Amino acid sequence: MIVRIGKSKDILNVLRYNQNKVKACEASILYLHKVAYPLYKVEDLSVYFQRYFQAYLLKNISTQRPVRHISLNPHPKDKLSDKELLLIAKTYMAKVNLKNQPYIVYKHFDLKRIHIHIATIAVNLWGKKIEKLYDYSHAHNACREITKEFGLTGYQKKDKGYKRFLLDIVNHAEFSVYDQINSVVCTLPKHYLFTSFKKYNALLSLFNVQAIKSKRKDHVFYVALDKNKNKASNIFSCHRFDLVVDEDFLKSHYNKSTQLRVDKTSELSELKKMIQAYFKQSKSFSEFKKLLKNQGINIVELSNKLKKDFVFISHELKVVFNFKKLSQKLNSKDNSYFNTLRKKIENPIKNLVLQRYNQSQKEYKDLQSHESFNFLEDFMLESNQSSFVCFFNYLLSGPSFDMQEKQFEDSIKKKKKKSKSKYLV
């Protein structure tokens, strides 16, 4: 089991974080200690729970960050029930001398591994800080003791039964985020050619990974992304991976890829011609992307403040390249080019209606020969509009019937039938 301790000033932020998870059905309240659950409906539970911690925080003397957000993470192999998780939380709080403090235990299942979050404070009723809580080694020792007492599986740096992950899209919700990023970072530079850091990031984005340059020289960090391409995991240093893909390694790879791309110039030119042909055929940008994806080519949009950069990745040639002419068209005609195509494919009925209306307006203008006939202006406009509306309704819905006339005709037909039947009798 691994413990993580977060220190802060405001208990409300910690409570709101956990309550938002509860609202999103990604967590549940497991236990309340010295905190009462409301018997009536409350608008904001986090504000309600905050009242039970305020008495301790108001008496705080000198502790700058009295709030504690503790995360206890058992191994995913351990299938633990709610009772066992609650016992683990209570024993941990007792070993860290926090059993007399008010705290709330949340069970989180937003990730594939179930883990516990504990919201509490490190200040007692007299406003003095609890010194042992500041000792991280004491917390880790408590976790080791709990793993032995409950017979849990411990975390090891190198597991003998570990199977290496294949190259796949990184899922930040899974337990092994580090191993997934490690497989991506170690595999891609061996197979793909790219000549800049932007192109390298474009390739990584297909696997939900982002590379970040550090302020330090020759140092690169890596992070997992979610579906919306936002950061969704801890940051990992390049020196932790099996292949150290730092800035020096990338610079040497840029030089190698420029040399190797010379052999593929003819293939790249043919590929660009094919991309241009698909661009002319496509009716929208999403359709253009689908057409290229079927041919094993991905487009990655790298948005800047001024304009968008479009990077193309060919999985057959294993090359990441720019297409300046087409990217300029996509920047300038991302809306206008595809909108002109849509106008050509518009409903022809609308065009006919507009032509008929314009013709009627021209005929009316020809009738205006003398100023004395200006009193006919309103009448002519109304008649033209009514003819336009009738024409439009006829094209869209067909001829319309008056219900009263129809009922009158039906009643006459019924009377005729009755009269015929009398004469026959």
Listed residue (221, 252, 224, 255) closest to 238, CA to CA = 221
CA distance 115 to 85: 9
Ordered by start, the domain boundaries in the chain are 2-150, 176-331
Phi, psi (degrees; rounded to nearest 5) at 237: -75, 150
**pLDDT by residue for the chain (425 residues), tens digit each?**
888 888 888 999 999 999 999 988 888 999 999 999 888 888 889 999 999 999 888 888 888 888 999 999 888 888 888 899 999 999 999 998 898 999 999 999 877 678 999 999 988 888 888 866 556 788 888 888 999 888 888 776 544 444 455 678 888 877 688 888 999 999 899 899 999 999 999 999 999 999 998 877 778 999 999 888 888 888 898 888 888 888 889 999 999 999 988 888 888 889 888 888 888 877 778 888 888 888 888 988 877 656 678 889 999 899 999 888 787 777 664 455 555 554 554 455 566 666 666 776 666 555 555 555 555 555 444 444 444 445 445 444 444 445 556 666 777 776 666 665 555 54
Question: To 10 degrees, what angle do helices 82-95 and 136-150 make?
Answer: 140
CA distance 99 to 138: 15
Listed residue (347, 346, 339, 338) closest to 281, CA to CA = 338
The whole model's pTM is what? Answer: 0.49
DSSP 38: P
Total Cβ atoms within 10 A of residue 218: 14
Listed residue (273, 272, 292) closest to 282, CA to CA = 292
With respect to CATH, is domain 2-150 assigned 3.40.50.1820?
no
Listed residue (112, 132, 123) closest to 173, CA to CA = 112
Listed residue (98, 69, 55) closest to 8, CA to CA = 69
| Residue 240, token pair as written in the block | 């932790």
Listed residue (93, 105, 91, 103) closest to 27, CA to CA = 105
Q: How many residues does the chain have?
A: 425
Burial class (CB in 10 A: 0-12, 13-18, 19+), 404: exposed
CA distance 221 to 212: 5
| Residue 164, token pair as written in the block | 């290496």
Q: Could you tell me if residue 133 is left (phi over 0), alpha (psi between -120 and 50 degrees) or otherwise beta?
A: alpha
